[in-house]
Each structure stands twice: as structure tokens, then as C-alpha cells.
A = this chain, B = another copy of it.
Amino acid sequence: MTTLPEFKQAPHKLLVIPGPIEVSDEVLYANARPSNSHVAPDFVQVFGDCIRRFVISTAGQPFLISGSGTLGWDQVAANLIQPGENALVLHTGYFGDSFQDCLETYGAKVDQIKADIGGVVSQEAIESALKSKKYRLLTFTHVDTSTAVLSDAKAIAETVRRVSPDTLVILDGVCSVASEELRMDAWGIDVVLTASQKGLGVPPGLSILVASPKAIKARVFESRTAPVGSYYASWKKWLPIMKAYESGKAAYFATPPVNLVYAYHASLTRITKEAPSLEERFKLHRAASKEVKDTAAELGLKQLPLDPAYAATGMTALYFPNGVAATDVLPKLSANGIIAAGGLHAAIKEKYFRIGHMGITVVDGQRGDIQVITKALKDVFAKL
């Protein structure tokens, strides 16, 4: 890679919604590289690197497809479950309902276990559901962006493996990958799906999914009797493409988002090859999260997750104090230099707000982003 020229993105307010997040100059410059052919040797090399070098799994098969994170749900629903089969959705916020909706679109029969707002689903409830019926797959949202609730991926996978080993474990990691600890291979997770614009630090537009080769082989190619329910999201179409680029050859099914793949490559290179290590990266996220959450507590703000043990480290969701509205707070935070997000969970939408602290905002301490966030919180809430 050539040295980064003097490219600096335009001055702007700090973007601390829980995605899209702040993106480095280096990644943005890669997004502005001259147009290139999707079959050019240098692109083949870069795209191949992106497939070979995925951060959260060494055994898994990545699928990198032009699309929003949402497209990951279609990939799961269209490929891994057949019409009439059962799926179990653990609900910890907005995204559980949407994943259910997607699964049902492709004909799955969905049961949901719904946590209280701010809560998680207990292992007992999961165990009991798994014993009541044969489920082809179970899905959960690792961090639900609407509530900042972090589910215990390791414990969920353990419960499924123990009680119903044939049930696939599907982790929606859109808001967790590269900011929350996640060991796909070691914990026995079959699919992790995510997107480019959160912990991975790239503009939105890339649906990123990793599936265990065993799950793909068994469920898509061997035991599946119904045809795959989607064309654009079909792994039968995409697997040969990923395999080709992985082995250094071009192949065509649909044109990949060339510039965004270069941008993703720039970010991935930084995450996987350079300091900080992945361990250090998670540690920095925990430390930044503590700083924001401690500041909020000092200001008397209550977190949405009911128990600190399952609050995300990549984002914070905070209730407004009594009598204070979103329209009071968000514009003031903006006047203090940070763009935060309003509520998303329909039942309490107007009652809380959200701050993301992922990627370079956390990892590149020299930026001072966390200090900007805590200062803005203090300045705004001390005066309310």
C-alpha cells in the first residue's frame, strides 16, 4: 500500500451515534480511490485479503456482499432454514422483531422469547424452549442497538450445544463485531452477521457475514430440499465467488462495491495487523465505556440495561431525567460538538438517547473523542 497522501476529511461535529461511526482519513481516502475493475488483479488481491482475513473467526466462511446489515438476515433466512421449520428468536429490543419478520418472510415458523425492556433472556428460558420443540436455528442480537443490551453469546451457545446440538446459533453482530469480545470458533457460533459502519469503522454499504463451513455444507447443500428463497442473497450463488477471490481468482455474480471493499481493507488491515491487538482493542472499548457510563452515573442518568453486567461496551443508552425531552438534549449535545442518537425502541422511544463509542473514537486515544463526549454530557446535563 502506498503512503497516505495529505488527505484530511473536512471538519465536522463528532459523530457518536451507535453507527455509522467516525471513519479514519485513511479509510475515507481508500473509499475515494480511482475507479477500478472488479476483476482487476490488484482488486482480486484486496478482496481476497478481506475474505481470508476476517477478524472474528479463522474457520468461518465470510460472505462480503453489497448491501445493508439487514441483508445478513435475508442470507440466514433464505439459506439456513426451510419453509415450515422452526426458528427461535431471543428478543432484547427492536432488532429481534425485525429478524423474526425476515425469517417469516422466507416461510420459517418463529417463536420469540422476549426479555423485559433493558433485560436479557435467561438461560433457563432458552433451555426450556429448546426442549419443547425442534428448532433449526436460534437467533439473538449480540448488542441490540435499540437498547444497548449485550447478550451473553458464550452462555447462549453453550446452552444450545448442550440441549439441542443440531440447532444453529445465529449471532446478529451488527452492533458488536470488533467492539465486543466475540469468539465465534471457540464458543461454537454458527453464523455471525454484521455490517461495515459500526465497530469495523467503514462507511455503510457492506453486508458482512461469516458462517461455519459445516453449517453451509449441511444446511444449504446437503439436507436442504426446498430451493433457496432468494436470488441476491443465495449462498449457492455467492459461495463460488467468495472461494474464487479467496484463492486469488476473479469471478462474477454481481458487481462488488469496489471502492468500499478498498475502504474495508484499509480498516481491516489496521484492526488485524497493527496495534492495538484485538485483545487490547476490547480492553480499550471496556475502558471507554466505563468512562462514559461513570460520567453518566455521576450526572444522575440511568442506563437502559437493567444490569451493568449486560450493558454493551460499544455504546450507552441513557434515560432522560424526568421532565426532560429529546428535543431539549440532542440539539444541546450537538451545540457541544457531538451528534448523539435518539431512542429507537418503540415503547420508550421518547424517553432515552444513545451514544456510540466504537472504533477509532475509542482506539485512537490521541483524537480525544471520549473526552469530548464526557465533556458534552457534563456541560449539557449539569445545566438541565
Residues of A at under 8 Å CB distance from B? Answer: 2, 5, 7, 9-10, 12, 15, 17, 19-23, 28-29, 31-40, 65-71, 73-74, 77, 101-102, 105-106, 195, 197, 203-205, 227-234, 252-260, 339, 341, 344
Q: Which B residues touch A29, using CB under 8 A?
A: 32
Among B2, B102, B231, which residue has its beta carbon within 8 angstroms of that of A106?
B231
Q: Which B residues touch A36, using CB under 8 A?
A: 12, 15, 20
Cα(A230)–Cα(B20), bound, Å: 25
Residue on B nearest A253 in the bound complex, by CB = B70
* A-B CB contact pairs (8 Å), 15 listed: A9-B32, A10-B33, A12-B34, A19-B255, A20-B258, A22-B34, A32-B32, A35-B197, A66-B68, A105-B229, A197-B255, A205-B205, A230-B232, A232-B232, A257-B260
**Copies per assembly:** 2
Structural contact, A17 and B31, CB atoms closer than 8 A: no
Given A15-B37, A22-B35, 5 further pairs, Cβ under 8 A: A7-B32, A67-B232, A68-B257, A69-B254, A205-B259
Dominant secondary structure of chain A at its interface with chain B = loop
Residue of A23, A32, A258 with highest tally of chain B CB at under 10 A:
A32
Structural contact, B32 and A231, CB atoms closer than 8 A: no
Give the Cβ gap from A24 to chain B, nearest Cβ, in Å. 10
Q: Which B residues touch A258, using CB under 8 A?
A: 20, 197, 203-204
Among B37, B105, B260, which residue has its beta carbon within 8 angstroms of that of A230?
B105
Q: Which B residues touch A22, using CB under 8 A?
A: 34-35
Give the Cβ gap from A97 to chain B, nearest Cβ, in Å. 12
Cα(A21)–Cα(B10), bound, Å: 26
Cα(A195)–Cα(B31), bound, Å: 18
Structural contact, A204 and B20, CB atoms closer than 8 A: no
Among B38, B65, B67, B232, which residue has its beta carbon within 8 angstroms of that of A20?
B38
